[in-house]
Homo-oligomer: A and B are copies of this chain.
Amino acid sequence: MNRQWLYAKPPAGKIGKDTFQWTETAIPQPRAGEVLVRTRMLSLDPANRAWMMGKTYRDALEPGQVMSGFVIGEVVESKAPGFAPGDIVEGDWGWQDYAAMPARKLTKRTADAPLEMLIGPLSVTGLTAYFGLLEVGQPKPGDTVLVSAAAGAVGSMVGQIAKIAGCRVVGTAGGQDKCDWLVRELGFDAAVDYKAGGVFRALRAVCPDGIDVYFDNTGGPVLDAALGLMNLKGRIACCGNVSQYDVEKPAPGPMAVPGLIVTKRIRMEGFIVMDFYDRRAEAEARLARWIAEGRIKAMVDIVDGLERAPEALIGLFEGTNRGKRAVRV
């Protein structure tokens, strides 16, 4: 039996349980060139919500299809060279127990690392933080780096990588508890609770030398505040716009664009982690070493059971997670 969550219908405003529909179907048979995979760990990402809004860097989700998502799984049966039962693989086969995947859409992973690491810190999440910060943000030692959604999967990695790079690191997160955790546990120099209001003043107080690099996961009010505090020739690595994904009516765009972009000569640049996959091995090796050395605490927030995937994704937008949220199947 193959349990599946379908994407049922576009949400009107926030996603809810009726955005998804549970179904059970037969386990597919792999054809020549395909591999039957079994889901072990399912990644939940804010981007899952963005895919419901229209075409992005991938086609929009269509109602009735299996809900999309990045997965770590195990090969059950292979009709493709190079894959054998028991291999650990990753791919985008979504919210279901089994899938017959074309071999070219799978990537083999080492079985050395725990699945909790392969689903995030040593995969999409960690690589997004690594390339987005270092290649797009171009931090220099001594720079002040701001990261939004800093207690989230990507943000928590960004802050710790920026510390390794010799920067002063400030994060924003929702709630004082998360902010305290960022400073005490993850080594951030300061953290600001964006839900407490007055984000611009609060950030200005903890960024006395301005901001050199802003790693933007959220857009919205934190982006507005950051633009006002950016230094000359500052860099904004645009990774996500999560404040605007799960809302009925998007907020207006940032008033400081393009005015302050010009006068402060800011570079604002978007990226998608897949653009950097030719250098994936290098980044994974460094991330693995930093995690092994304890220089990065790779936070993983595991929810058990495929049936709980919808509530786990809904919770992402309520900020119930710390670090990388994934569903163990």
Contact = CB atoms under 8 A, between A and B. Distances in A.
A253 B263 contact: no
Interface residues of A, number: 35
Interface string A223-266: 10000000000001011110010000010111111111111111
A275 interface: yes
A270 interface: yes
A269 interface: yes
A236 B238 CA distance: 14
A103 to B, nearest CB: 27
Contacts of A239: 262
Contact of A219 (B241, B258, B267): B258
Given A267-B268, A269-B267, A262 B250 contact: no
A125 to B, nearest CB: 16
A217 to B, nearest CB: 10
Given A263-B272, A265-B272, 9 more contacts: A238-B258, A238-B262, A252-B255, A260-B270, A261-B268, A262-B271, A266-B269, A267-B267, A267-B268
7 contacts: A50-B263, A57-B263, A223-B258, A241-B258, A257-B257, A262-B272, A269-B269
